[in-house]
Structure 1
Amino acid sequence: MTLRAVVRSVSELCITIGVLIVLFVVYLLYWTGIRADNASDGEIERLQDRWSQAPPERPEDAANAASGTRAYEDGKSFAVMYIPRFGRDWSRPVLQNTAEGTLRKGLGHYPRTSRLGEKGNFAVAGHRRTYGDPFKDFPALRPGDPVVVTDGRTWYTYTVTRRPYRTLPSDTGVLDATPKPLDPAAAPFREPGRYLTLTTCDPEWGSSHRLIAWARLDATRPAAEGKPDALRR
Structure 2
Amino acid sequence: MPVVVQGRGRRARVRAARVLWGVAEAAVTFGVVVLLLVVHQLWWTNRQARAGAERAVHSLERQWEEGKGEREGREEEKGQEERDEGEGGDSGVGEGRGRSSGVGREPVPLRSDTAYAIIRIPRLGVTAPVAEGVAKQGVLDKGYVGHYPGTARPGRPGNVALAGHRNTHGEPFRYINRLRRGDDIRIETRDTVYVYEVDRQLARTSPRDIGVIRPVPRSLTVPGAGYREPGRYLTLTTCTPEFSSAYRLIVWGKLTATLPRRP
Cα distance change of structure 1 residues 86 and 74 upon mapping to structure 2, 3 Å threshold = same
Partner of 2:156: 118
Residue aligned with 1:94, SS:
strand
Whole-angstrom CA distance in 2 between matches of 1:217 and 1:59: 27
Cα distance change of structure 1 residues 205 and 212 upon mapping to structure 2, 3 Å threshold = same
Partner of 1:98: 134
Whole-angstrom CA distance in 2 between matches of 1:200 and 1:61: 36
Whole-angstrom CA distance in 2 between matches of 1:178 and 1:208: 24
Match of 2:184 among 146, 161, 164: 146
**Deviating more after overlay: 136-145 vs 5-14:** 136-145
Partner of 2:236: 198
Partner of 1:7: 20
Q: Retained in 2: the 8 A contact 1:114–1:120?
A: yes
Q: Retained in 2: the 8 A contact 1:82–1:148?
A: yes
Q: Retained in 2: the 8 A contact 1:165–1:186?
A: no
Following superposition, the deviation at residue 61 of structure 1 comes to: 6.7
Whole-angstrom CA distance in 1 between matches of 2:183 and 2:107: 31
TM score, norm. by length of structure 2: 0.80
Whole-angstrom CA distance in 2 between matches of 1:135 and 1:217: 20
Whole-angstrom CA distance in 1 between matches of 2:229 and 2:181: 19
Instruction: Kindly report which structure 2 residues correspond to 1:37-186, keeping only aligned pairs within 5 A, or say none.
Output: 37-54=50-67, 55-56=71-72, 60=100, 62-63=102-103, 66-87=104-125, 90-101=126-137, 102-105=139-142, 106-182=144-220, 183-186=222-225
Q: Retained in 1: the 8 A contact 2:218–2:228?
A: no
Runs of 4 or more above 3 Å deviation: 56-61, 66-69
Q: Greater CA radius of gyration, 1 or 2?
A: 2
Over the matched positions of the two proteins, sequence identity in percent amounts to 39
Following superposition, the deviation at residue 29 of structure 1 comes to: 1.0
Cα distance change of structure 1 residues 204 and 59 upon mapping to structure 2, 3 Å threshold = farther
Q: What amino acid maps onto 2:24 in structure 1?
A: S
The number of aligned residues is: 220
Whole-angstrom CA distance in 2 between matches of 1:221 and 1:107: 22
Residue aligned with 1:100, SS:
coil
Whole-angstrom CA distance in 2 between matches of 1:72 and 1:60: 22
Q: Which runs of 5+ in 2 are unaligned?
A: 1-13, 76-97
Q: Which runs of 5+ in 1 are unaligned?
A: 227-233
Q: Retained in 2: the 8 A contact 1:44–1:80?
A: yes
Whole-angstrom CA distance in 2 between matches of 1:22 and 1:146: 39
TM score, norm. by length of structure 1: 0.89
Q: What amino acid maps onto 1:111 in structure 2?
A: P
Q: Retained in 2: the 8 A contact 1:81–1:92?
A: yes
Q: Retained in 2: the 8 A contact 1:199–1:213?
A: yes
Following superposition, the deviation at residue 176 of structure 1 comes to: 0.4
Following superposition, the deviation at residue 59 of structure 1 comes to: 5.1
